[in-house]
Amino acid sequence: MINSAKIPKAYSEVYSFINALGSSYISKIPVSVYNTIKKNRDENYNPMFNRDESIIKSNISKEGLALISAINLQYWCNNEDEKAKLKKIYIHNGNIEKQKYSSDNLFNNINKENICVDLMEYKQSFLQKIIRKIKKIFRL
């Protein structure tokens, strides 16, 4: 699930990442998309990316990585076979996330031996009994 408070930070990460890649990658993205990223980014947050370093090592957020993967699939990937392979991977990863957080599997990993349920006996006080009887009389 994407947290909307993290979106400006993700746009900043994507903007810095795209600029680190250079003009050949920027030119493949439509100007409107690039301007949207630029306009919606957090200008106080400017992460730095090294073109020679793996994106995995860069501590990029999940939201930023999702945006970069969408841009990669949509604009940078030219080979149709590669696009199909990426789509399969994205769908597979989405299914794993759904299974991980599904309501069916949510409580399967709980150790049932350590669950202790104490039952308490509820007793009404004398005053509560009187108040309840008075309320009962006035309802009739």
Helix (H) and strand (E) counts in the chain: 6, 0
Q: Which residues contact 7 (CB under 8 A, 6 or more apart)?
A: 40, 63
Residue 18 burial (10 A CB sphere; 0-12, 13-18, 19+): buried
Q: How far is CA 26 from CA 21, 37, 85, 102, 126, in A?
A: 8, 12, 23, 38, 77
* Cβ atoms within 10 Å, residue 128: 10
Instruction: Give CA torsion, residues 80, 81, 85, 88, to 10 deg.
Output: 60
Name the more confident of 121 and 27: 27
**pTM: predicted TM-score of the whole model, two decimal places:** 0.65
Q: What is the pLDDT of residue 110?
A: 60
Closest residue by Cα to residue 17 from 31, 2, 57: 57
Q: What is the pLDDT of residues 37-65, one digit of tens each?
A: 999 999 998 888 877 777 777 788 888 88
In the prediction, which pLDDT does 1 show? 52
State the average pLDDT over residues 97-126: 69
Q: Flag whether pLDDT at 124 surpasses 60.
A: yes
In the structure encoding, which two tokens stand for residue 53, read together?
Answer: 């370093």
